[in-house]
A and B are shown apart, each in its own frame.
Chain A
Amino acid sequence: GGIITQTPKFLIGQEGQKLTLKCQQNFNHDTMYWYRQDSGKGLRLIYYSITENDLQKGDLSEGYDASREKKSSFSLTVTSAQKNEMAVFLCASDGGFSAETLYFGSGTRLTVL
């Protein structure tokens, strides 16, 4: 079986700082996703990528950049961290058309001081 690895697991930043989150998958999946999870708000799509070097904006892309350097990795950058921001960022991947095959990493928990 495959695995999705997110690093770091915990990230503490300062207001205004640029922060980068990384995701690696060894499923050989084509499509990768970044979601933001806030308490009481479910998951919201930030960016997704259907192949290497492809980027597609989700509903919450403002304030973020993403990069799909190679098929197995997808990184997300918070361009300017907001004070008191707290959220979990989840990376996912899937190999087929439907989202039935979505596999999630365990998340990066961001805290901005």
Chain B
Amino acid sequence: GEQVEQRPPHLSVREGDSAFIICTYTDSATAYFYWYKQEPGAGLQLLMSVFSNVDRKEEQGLTVLLNKKDKRLSLNLTAAHPGDSAVYFCAVSDDTNAYKVIFGKGTHLHVLP
């Protein structure tokens, strides 16, 4: 079945720097790609979603890149601030069963003031 690897597990950056998180997946049928943010004591909040026909998407300081050839999904936070400190998860699902979303293990991002 689908395997999703996310790295790094922990990331510390200084305020104003960029934070880069990457996920790789194994199933070439994967069609839907997501990034979620989880703040302490809260559930997951969708940051961005990308469908397989999109290579790049930018929104409000976030850039998602999708490389289907290498089966790689990345999230770049430009100019991070302390409020961005949270756990970030990538997630994927395929065309056959969008109900079964596979999550990465998460990246603990700490933005230092």
Identify the A interface with B (CB < 8 A).
4, 31, 33, 35, 40-45, 48, 50, 56, 58-59, 90, 92, 97-100, 102-107
Total contacts A-B at CB 8 Å: 60
- A104→B47 CA distance, assembly (Å): 13
Flag if A42 contacts B32 (CB, 8 Å): no
Min CB distance B67 to A, Å, is 21
A43 and B49 contacting across the interface, CB-CB below 8 Å: no
A99-B91, A100-B49 known; A42-B105 Cβ under 8 A: yes
Min CB gap A57→B, angstroms = 11
**Distance in Å from the Cβ of A65 to the closest Cβ of chain B?**
19
- Does B26 sit within 8 A of A, measured CB to CB? no
* Contact of A98 with B105 in the complex, beta carbons under 8 Å: no
Since A45-B100, A106-B43 are in contact, a sample of 15 more A-B pairs with Cβ atoms closer than 8 Å, ordered by chain A residue number, is: A35-B103, A40-B106, A42-B89, A42-B105, A42-B106, A43-B44, A45-B101, A50-B99, A56-B99, A90-B44, A92-B44, A98-B49, A98-B93, A99-B101, A106-B41
Judged by a CB distance under 8 angstroms, whether B98 is at the interface is yes
The answer to whether B104 and A99 have CB atoms under 8 Å apart is: no
A99-B43 CB under 8 A given contacts A42-B104, A43-B89, A56-B99: no
A58 to B41 CA separation, bound complex (whole angstroms) = 24
Contact B93 A102 (CB under 8 A): no
Which 3 A-B residue pairs are closest in the complex by CB-CB distance? A104-B43, A42-B105, A43-B103
Give the CA-CA distance A59 to B103 in the complex, in Å.
12
A-contact bits for B73-113, CB 8 A (1 contact / 0 none): 00000000000000001010100001111011110000000
B41 to chain A minimum Cβ distance, whole angstroms, is 6
Task: Kindly report which residue of chain A lies nearest to residue B39, judged by CB atoms.
Answer: A106
A72 to chain B, nearest CB (A): 17
* Contact of A90 (CB < 8 Å), options: B4, B34, B43, B91: B43
Q: Does B16 contact A (CB under 8 A)?
A: no
A40 touching B42, Cβ below 8 Å: no
- Please, which residues of chain B bring their CB within 8 A of the CB of A43? 44, 89, 103
